[in-house]
Amino acid sequence: MVDGALLQNILNFGPVFLLIAARAIAMIETAPLLSSEAVPQVAKLALAGFAAFAVLPNAGAFSAELTAAGMAGVSGVGAVTFPGTSVLSDLRYEPLSLRFLLLVAGEGIIGVIIGFYLTLIFATFSTAGQFFSLQMGLGASETFDPLAQIENPLMGQYFNLVSMLVFLTVGGFRELFLGGFWRSVQSLNITMLIDGRGPVINMMASGLAKLFLDAMVISLPILGTLFLTSLSTGLISKAAPQINILSEGFPIAIITAYLLLFATLPFLVEAFSHVIEAGFANIEKLYTMIGQQIGGGS
């Protein structure tokens, strides 16, 4: 049987739970892989509710320092204090106010920022594939990519699949919900986000610039080799005009690109892993810059 005090605490902290759940569902709806239409909406809502319930005891960003008067105020509602000297703030007393609705919208914005930044990271791999698809001869092979949910060339889809496997290998979902979501609930709320909007804008702008830089670095070995291949076939066509360069050049470019992909795949996986881990590190660095400090714990 569920303890009555536990149910009472859930009821007392219900509005705060809704705020955290709004952040969770916004993050899930915009984060890569989880935002796919292949994932049922019911599963997304259930995951958001479970994540919000799991992090509720550590919602440090929604806590208020205890005072002598505050201790007397919370003792009457049966609220359980957090380890230390804080309790959940008085948001639970105004769930139907306009201020609360604005706070829900603000929490959704925080979730969208987390998910959108991770989407920028995954767009790096798709963009890297698009850089050399045309030189490879597969520029016209655009089909709908269910992972990126856009029209994507064949090489972009291939890199998306590899990045998805790397994301799972490096524990991407663990980092998303622990390093991304849980840490944000501990250290960040919408007020802190508004006060620290400068670093947020800088992170988004630098993430967009880094998207193209990382995509170019990843695709440069294949792109440069295909450029040399095209240059060589062009010189051959000048030396021997009777050779049909269109019928001979495309197979050479495709075979060369596939051989390079096979040879450089271990290095590509390492590069993908570094880009993903750097993205999570930048998110946690943002929490440190604009959020409250998290003391203790691992």
**pLDDT score of 81:** 43
For strand 63-65 and strand 150-152, is the pairing parallel, antiparallel, or unpaired? Answer: unpaired
Q: For residues 201 and 210, what is the distance between their CA atoms, to the nearest angstrom?
A: 14
**Cβ burial, residue 83 (10 Å; 0-12/13-18/19+):** exposed
Which long-range contacts (C-beta less than 8 Å, at least 24 apart) are formed by 265-270? Answer: 265/162, 268/159, 268/162, 268/218, 269/162, 269/166
Residue type, 220: L
Using DSSP's 3-state secondary structure scheme, residue 63 falls into strand
- Residue 151's pLDDT band (cuts 50, 70, 90): low
H-helix or E-strand spanning residue 263: helix 245-290
pLDDT tens digit string along 225-244? 888 887 877 777 777 776 66
Average pLDDT, the chain: 75
Q: For residues 182 and 221, what is the distance between their CA atoms, to the nearest angstrom?
A: 38
Cα torsion 272, 278, 281, 285: sign: negative
**pLDDT score of 85:** 37
**pLDDT score of 104:** 85
Q: For residues 83 and 73, what is the distance between their CA atoms, to the nearest angstrom?
A: 18
- Residue 188's pLDDT band (cuts 50, 70, 90): confident
Asked if the model's pLDDT at residue 72 lies above 70, the reply is no
Taking residues 43-56, report their average pLDDT: 86
Share of the chain above pLDDT 70, in %: 73
**pLDDT score of 84:** 41
Asked if the model's pLDDT at residue 147 lies above 60, the reply is no
- Residue 39's pLDDT band (cuts 50, 70, 90): confident
Mean pLDDT is lowest, of 16-25, 66-75, 114-123, 254-263, for 66-75
Fill in the DSSP letter of residue 81. P
